[in-house]
Amino acid sequence: MSAPEYNVPVADTALTACPDCDLLQRLPDVPPGGAAHCPRCDRELLRRPANSRERVLALTVAAAILWIVANSVPMLGLTVIGYQASTTVMGGAIHLWTHDQQVVAVLILFTAVVAPALQIGFLLAVSLGTGRVPAPRWVGVMIRHQPTLVEWSMIEVMMIGVLVALIKIAELANVVPGLALYLLAGLIFVLAGMQSSIDRRAIWESVSWASGAPR
Amino acid sequence: MSAPANAMALGLQGCEACGLVSRPAPGAVEGRCPRCDEELSFRKHGSIQRTWAFVMAAAICYVPANFLPVLATASPSGTDYDTILQGVVLLWSPTGWPLSIIVLIASIIIPSAKIIALGYLLVSVQRGSNLHHHQRVRLYRMVELIGRWSMVDVFVDTFTAALVQLQPLMSVEPGPGLVFFAAVVVLTMLAVRSFDPRFIWDSQVPTRATHG
């Protein structure tokens, strides 16, 4: 069976259907810095951050640097009676892998390392790609899958987990918070700022259409 | 527009990926989004069945996740096995109790609340309930937002095991319950993703739509 046909777009580009309740409505003109919500279910439909592209670009670069350093230095260590040990984020996943917990190891690696990297990388590529007019098709592919990566990127959850582990271990040994711990704490805020600076509608309006239809 | 209406009632499909509203080509029932190529449907196909399948699988994994040990602590005096609940109890101390409560909420209350909430949403949608639309969509969003936090315990156990390797004094290893617990988190997240919240509103008579 061949792929289904392309739909016919409606002429009024301000029309939108709420993703959470399907209410058909016309989006208002939102000033920079504003947002629009569905009148029925209150879902956010549109967000227009000011200077979106520049902000996203700056924050993705900052996030990429933080990610690289945070994953190359120890996150936490301990010392006890002359013995010391430390682990990186990846070290946790590797330990699970070598102790018959491959499934969980992959999950940890994905949620703590890979998904954040892709989340940052996709957005960096998107903000570079939207510099061209019209933006190439792969920009659309990336911005379409980016929310899924955000869902599985769990640095802030890991942070709480690490703090709990620190307190538990503190009863047995001297715990030493590593540099990565502070960098990851910073990364949480950079990622939040980065996500809230995206102007999805502007990106979609700049992307070439899959059907090749006039824009 | 005069009266508020669902896009589906007008034969229109809103793209979940890019937001473009389009109409299936003449003769076609469903098609692809002309802007982003996403396959469009009025409602997610098999959403209810798939969500039920994930919820049930999560409920099944929930049992071994709570009864099998997630950590094994070996010391010269023998090996101790801790389940998630025992981990919560062990954390309870005059200074550690806030963390104990965080783990209790993240690992025990959230996963079970998610399974119950999704079950309730599914049943209410299947029965065509015309009540509490706003509360139900708020419940859905809460489940969506809060679900990831159950991963806390997986991270706690991972990094405790990675760090506490003080052989022969003491060493901590992940236990067999960990993979089931991780499965509960992943399955409930997939269940949330496969549920289509638009079903909640389908029973609503269009003219009764409220604003504000």
Q: Are residues A16 and A81 in the same domain?
A: no
B28 contacts chain A (CB < 8 A): yes
Q: Are residues A22 and A120 in the same domain?
A: no
Q: Are residues B29 and B73 in the same domain?
A: no
- pLDDT tens-place string over residues A140-161: 899 999 999 999 999 999 999 9
Q: Tell me the percentage of chain A whose pLDDT exceeds 70.
A: 97
B212 contacts chain A (CB < 8 A): yes
Q: Are residues A16 and A56 in the same domain?
A: no
Minimal C-alpha gap between A59 and chain B (Å): 23
Residue ranges of A 142-181 with Cβ closer than 8 A to chain B: 144, 151-152, 154, 157-158, 160-165, 167-169, 172-173
Of A201, A133, A34, the C-alpha closest to B20 is A201
pLDDT at residue B203 greater than cutoff 60: yes
- pLDDT tens-place string over residues A164-174: 888 888 888 88
Task: Copy the structure tokens of residue B203.
Answer: 């029973």
pLDDT bracket for residue A1 (50, 70, 90): very low
Q: Are residues B34 and B50 in the same domain?
A: no
The count of structural domains within chain A is 2
Mean pLDDT is highest, among A72-86, B2-16, B81-95, B174-188, for B174-188
Segment A73-82 shows an average pLDDT of 87
Q: Are residues B112 and B189 in the same domain?
A: yes
Mean pLDDT for all residues in chain A: 90
- pLDDT tens-place string over residues A80-136: 877 888 889 999 999 999 988 999 999 999 999 999 999 999 999 999 999 888 888
- pLDDT tens-place string over residues B116-158: 999 999 999 988 888 888 899 999 999 999 989 999 999 999 9
* Residue B30 lies in domain: 1-42
Q: Are residues B86 and B128 in the same domain?
A: yes
B19 contacts on A by Cβ (under 8 Å): 16, 19, 45, 200-201, 204
Interface test with A, best of B155, B164, B203 (most A CBs within 10 A): B155
Q: Are residues B36 and B62 in the same domain?
A: no
Q: Are residues B34 and B62 in the same domain?
A: no
Q: Are residues B143 and B160 in the same domain?
A: yes
Distances (CA, A) of A94 to A89, A101, A102, A106, B180: 9, 10, 9, 9, 19
Q: Are residues A136 and A182 in the same domain?
A: yes
* Residue A4 lies in domain: 1-48
pLDDT bracket for residue B92 (50, 70, 90): confident
Q: Is residue A201 part of a domain?
A: yes
Q: Are residues B168 and B69 in the same domain?
A: yes
Q: Are residues A67 and A156 in the same domain?
A: yes
CB pair distance less than 8 Å for B25 and A169: no
B6 contacts on A by Cβ (under 8 Å): 17, 21-24
Q: Are residues B66 and B128 in the same domain?
A: yes
Q: Are residues B71 and B157 in the same domain?
A: yes
**DSSP string for residues in chain A:** -PPPPBPEEPS-TTEEE-TTT-BEEEPPPPPTTEEEE-TTT--EEEEE-TTHHHHHHHHHHHHHHHHHHHTTS-SEEEEETTEEEEE-HHHHHHHHHHTT-HHHHHHHHIIIIIHHHHHHHHHHHHHHHTTSSSBPHHHHHHHHHHHHHHHH--HHHHHHHHHHHHHHHHTTSEEEE-HHHHHHHHHHHHHHHHHHT--HHHHHHHBPPTT----
- What ipTM was estimated for this complex? 0.89
Which CATH number covers residue B99?
Answer: 1.20.140
Count A/B contacts: CB-CB distance under 8 Å.
249
A19 contacts on B by Cβ (under 8 Å): 14, 16, 19, 197-198
Q: Are residues A6 and A112 in the same domain?
A: no
Question: The whole model's pTM is what?
Answer: 0.89
A10 contacts chain B (CB < 8 A): yes
pLDDT at residue B209 greater than cutoff 60: no
- pLDDT tens-place string over residues A20-36: 988 999 998 889 989 99
Q: Are residues A83 and A40 in the same domain?
A: no
The count of structural domains within chain B is 2
Segment B12-20 shows an average pLDDT of 89
B1 contacts chain A (CB < 8 A): yes
3-state secondary structure (DSSP) of residue B36? coil
